[in-house]
Chains A and B, each alone.
Chain A
Amino acid sequence: MEGILITTQKALHLLVTGDQELWSIVILSFSVSLKAIVLTTPPAMLVAYSLVNGNFPGKRVILAVFNSLLSVPTVVIGLFLYVMLTRQGPFGDLRLLFSQTAMVIGQILLCFPILVALGFATINAADRRVRETSITLGAPWWYTILTVLYEVRFGLLAAVLTGFGRIISEVGISMMVGGNILGYTRNITTAIALETSKGEFAQGIALGIVLLALAFVLTTFLTYVQGKQGMSK
C-alpha cells in the first residue's frame, strides 16, 4: 500500500493534466445534478409559496410530510425508484433503469423536499406587507408570487445551493438506478466508491478534491451574496 502523500500527489497530477476519464466523470455529475435542480426549483418554490400563503386544509400535514422526507436515506429513494423503473415495475415500459434520466429523477425526489422545507422557512419569514401591497396595487397573482420570491431571493438561493450540494454528493441513488456505467452513468461519487473498491485511491482522492472545491466555491459564493444583501439594507 502506497503512502497517503504519494497517492495525493498522483491525484493532483490527474487533476492538473486533465485526465480525460476523470473530467468526463466530473462533467457527467454536474450535468445530471444541474438538470435535477433546474427541474425541481420552480415547482418546489410554488409548493413552498402555497404552503405559506395558500388557504387550504391539511397544510400542516403536508408540511410535516415534507419535513419528514428530509431524512429519507438515499438508498431508500434508490430502491423505491428501482422497483418503479424495473421492467416488471409500473414504469418498466419506459426502459429508464440504468440511465442518466433515472439518476435525474432520483435526485429530483431527493432535493424536492429540501427545497420545499427550506423555501417554506424562507418565504414564511418574508415581510407580509410585500404580498399585501402587491395585491392591493392590483398586481396579477403570478406577479405577486414573483415579487415575494424576489424579495427573499438570497434565502431561496441558499436553499437551492443546499439542495444542489446534497444531490451532487449523494451516492445511493446514483449507484442503484444509474448502475455506475463508465461514460454513461458513472458520476463522481459512484466512481469514488468503485475506485476505492479497486484499491485505486488516487482517482478517488482527485474526485474528492473536486467535490470539496465545489463545496468551498458554493459556500464562498453564498457568503458573498448574503454579505452584499446585508450591506444594502
Chain B
Amino acid sequence: MIHKKYIFTAILYIFSAGSILAEPVRLATTTSTDNSGLIKELLPYFEKETGNELLVISAGTGQALRMGQDGNVDVLLVHEPEAEKRFIQAGYGVNKRAVMYNDFVFVGPESDPAGIKGESDAISTLKKIFIEKHVFISRGDDSGTHKKELVLWEKAGLKPQKSWYREAGLGMGRVLQIADELNAYTIVDRGTWLAFKSKLSLKLLAYGDKRLHNQYSIIAVNPARYSGINYLGAMSLIAWITSIGGQEKIENFRINDQILFIPVAVKN
C-alpha cells in the first residue's frame, strides 16, 4: 500500500516537475481584496523581497476559512471578525494581525427610489429600502460582506422578502454588475466599489455609519494541526504585509487618487 502511494507520488512529481522548487505559500483571500486588484499589486513585491512564491486563491471569507480549517492553505487574509475569532478559538489559526480596513457603502441607481442618498445611518438606510421594496442584491455566498449585511438586517429587525431581495451567490464584482443591470441597491466594500465604479452606472449613496467598518486581518493556519503546512512561508507573508514596506504598498494602492484600504498594522 505504502509502495503504491510512493509510486503514485513519484509519477505525479514527474509530470509536475519544473513548476516549483521551494514550497510555495498558499494564501486564501476574499474576492474583495482580489477583485479590487490589491493582491495583484502586492504579490510581486512580496515574492521579490522574501523569495517566496505566493499562490493566491480567492473565495468568500466563509470558504477561505474552511480552506484554512481543512489545511488546504497556509495563510488567510479575511474580513469577518466574529468568524475569525471562532476560527482561532477552535485552534485552526494562530498569529492573527490586523492589516488594514475600509468601510462598506450602499450603492444604487441614480434615481434612488428609496431616497437613501446622504443617509449616514446604516439601519435607517435598510429600513428605507425595505419600505420601498426596491430590488436589493445580496451576495448570498457566506462571504464577509454577506455576513455583514445579514447582521445589519438583523439589527434593523427586518426580514427582507423574496419578491425584491435577491441572493446572487456570487463574488463582489458580479453582484455589482447584477445590481447595475437591474437598477438595484447593494452593499459593497469601498475597495471593490472604487475599482469598479467607472464600469458601472450605479452611484455611491450612503455611508459613514460606524457599524459599516470593514476590518481585514491575516491569520496563519495552525501548523500543529497538519503536517506540511508552510508555516514559515505564512509567517513571512504576515511579517511582510505588516511591515512598514508592505503597509506603504497598501497605502499607495489607489484608483483615481483614492485610497482603497487604510493600513493599520504599523503605528508610530
Contacts and interface: CB of A to CB of B under 8 A. Distances in A.
Interface of A: 1, 35, 86-88, 92-101, 104, 179-182, 184, 196-199
A180 B57 contact: yes
Interface in B175-230: 176-177, 180, 196, 199-201, 226, 228
Report, nearest first, the 10 A-B pairs whose CB atoms are least far apart.
A87-B71, A179-B57, A199-B199, A197-B173, A197-B174, A181-B55, A101-B16, A198-B173, A86-B70, A101-B12
Interface of B: 5, 8-9, 12, 15-16, 19, 24, 26, 31, 35, 40, 43, 55-58, 70-73, 170-171, 173-174, 176-177, 180, 196, 199-201, 226, 228
A192 to B, nearest CB: 13
B12 A94 contact: yes
Given A35-B15, A98-B26, A181 B35 contact: no
A128 to B, nearest CB: 37
B8 A197 contact: no
A98 B63 CA distance: 14
A88 to B, nearest CB: 5
B9 A94 contact: yes
A222 B16 CA distance: 30
A92 B135 CA distance: 43
Nearest to B36: A198
A39 to B, nearest CB: 8
A199 B40 CA distance: 16
B11 to A, nearest CB: 10
Contacts of B71: 87-88, 92
B177 A199 contact: yes
Contacts, number: 65
A97 B35 contact: no
Contacts of A35: 15
The A interface is mostly helix, strand or loop, or mixed, namely loop
Contacts of A99: 16
A180 B70 contact: no
A100 B16 contact: yes
A1 B199 contact: yes
A198 B56 contact: no
B12 A197 contact: no
Contacts of B55: 98, 179, 181, 184
A182 B56 contact: yes
A198 B35 CA distance: 6
A32 B72 CA distance: 21
Given A182-B40, A199-B177, A94 B8 contact: yes
A206 B251 CA distance: 33
Given A104-B15, A199-B177, 4 more contacts: A88-B70, A94-B12, A180-B58, A196-B174
Given A35-B15, A101-B15, A199 B57 contact: no
Contacts of B58: 180
Nearest to A86: B70
- Chain B CB count within 10 A is highest, among A35, A92, A93, A198, for A198
A96 B196 CA distance: 34
A203 to B, nearest CB: 13
A86 to B, nearest CB: 5
- Chain A CB count within 10 A is highest, among B24, B57, B72, for B72
A182 B196 CA distance: 20
B56 A181 contact: yes
Nearest to A97: B72
A206 B70 CA distance: 36
A181 B57 CA distance: 6
Contacts of A179: 55, 57
11 contacts: A1-B199, A1-B201, A88-B71, A92-B71, A94-B9, A98-B73, A104-B15, A181-B57, A196-B174, A199-B173, A199-B177
Nearest to A196: B174
A108 B58 CA distance: 25
